[in-house]
Structure 1
Amino acid sequence: MSVTQPQVLLVEDEPAQREVLAYNLESEGFAVRRAENGEEALLMVSEARPDLVILDWMMPLMSGIEVCRQLKTREDTREIPVIMLSARSEEVDTVRGLETGADDYVVKPYALRELMARVRNQLRRSRPAASGAELVFDDIRLDPERHRVNRADKELKLGPTEYRLLVTLLEKPGRVFSRDQLLDHVWGRDIYVDTRTVDVHIARLRKALTIHGGIDPIRTVRGAGYALG
């Protein structure tokens, strides 16, 4: 019943730097997708929303600053944490990067250990369960380290898929997830599963959450998907 891997989009136009950084991220347990320019990065974000973007400033076609600006002005992507990488070390450049919406700014050359610490820090905000933080919504409590779910102090028995669905919903209460987004988060991007499968497992999750009573906390948003609360 493990929590799904945090998804990191790495945007870096230098192949050697991109591969070294991707290798280290994967060694830390992150699932990494690679983009070599800003236009490709925006396309990849529209196809599958990452949990974190690591973004180089100086790139051909579109700068990292412009990519960050577009991500932070769109309602569906503004909450994605962005770590900006840049050889620009002047204070005015750091300020510009942060004012564009970047959540963190790392100057090249950087120590890999420091960058990994900053990645984990940002993911604690966007994917708290991945860092072991307890998730709570009303009377529902999920402990990812012990893989236990309680509602009104009564332990619930969930299958692995229902557990991962609940983690995804608990990490973003109120956010509406489409069936395709839930497929990406819970089953993974490389596995083909019919979207109707999501409905089946949502029904099972609802049954498990209400087995001891209480209202159904999962909201169906017609034509859009599902949300918690």
Structure 2
Amino acid sequence: MVFLAVEGDAESALLQLAEVKALVGRGTPVLCLASRDQVPVLSDSHWNAANDVIVRPTSFVEFCCVARMFMRRFGVHVHESDPTWDCYRFSLMSDAVEVSGERVHLRATEVDVAFELFSHAGQTLTREWLYSTVWDKYEDTQSRTLDVCISRLRRVLDLRANGWDLRAVHGMGYRLDGPAGESRGIASREAEGGLAKDASIAPTPPGPRTFFTVANK
């Protein structure tokens, strides 16, 4: 099973989809995440009982909801527990974060930024990577949008009081470090695939993006 976000115009998206199908086999279910302009063309050529095409979700939380429904459709087991780091619990199905059992108010993009920071705790996330991942665009790195979001996360999540340090890395981006032994949550160990602790994470080149593969079923 593959979750694929295609880039470019409809013609380019068709080529990307064909390449992925050739790689994984025609029988492997593929959920294609596309722009509104791409959906009509891709639906005509790709949609069938084993595949689906949807408008690209606007947030990671929305993507999780769509992905779980697609997985259940094909009988793939869905892990129901919420990612947790120390006293921070992320409820991906309700776009919410709890701190020591108390729900805090965050905007959808703030939840996404926080999740990326905790998922990659101990690593530097570049400004470009965060903009392209959370806002789905390569925004001017001089924009203050990310900085305002970071400032609010520090305050609302009460990071320093709970032993977490969210700091700017000059000329690069931001890095979140936690208490000894708590920097790495279960979700991050599964998602990072062995990245070095001091690595920085930057945008990937344009092209088809496979979010993750869960099963050849």
Q: How would you bin the TM-score normalised by the shorter chain?
A: 0.3 to 0.5
Higher relative contact order structure (alpha carbons within 8 Å, sequence separation ≥ 6): 2
TM-score (norm 2): 0.47
Structure richer in helix, relative to its length:
1
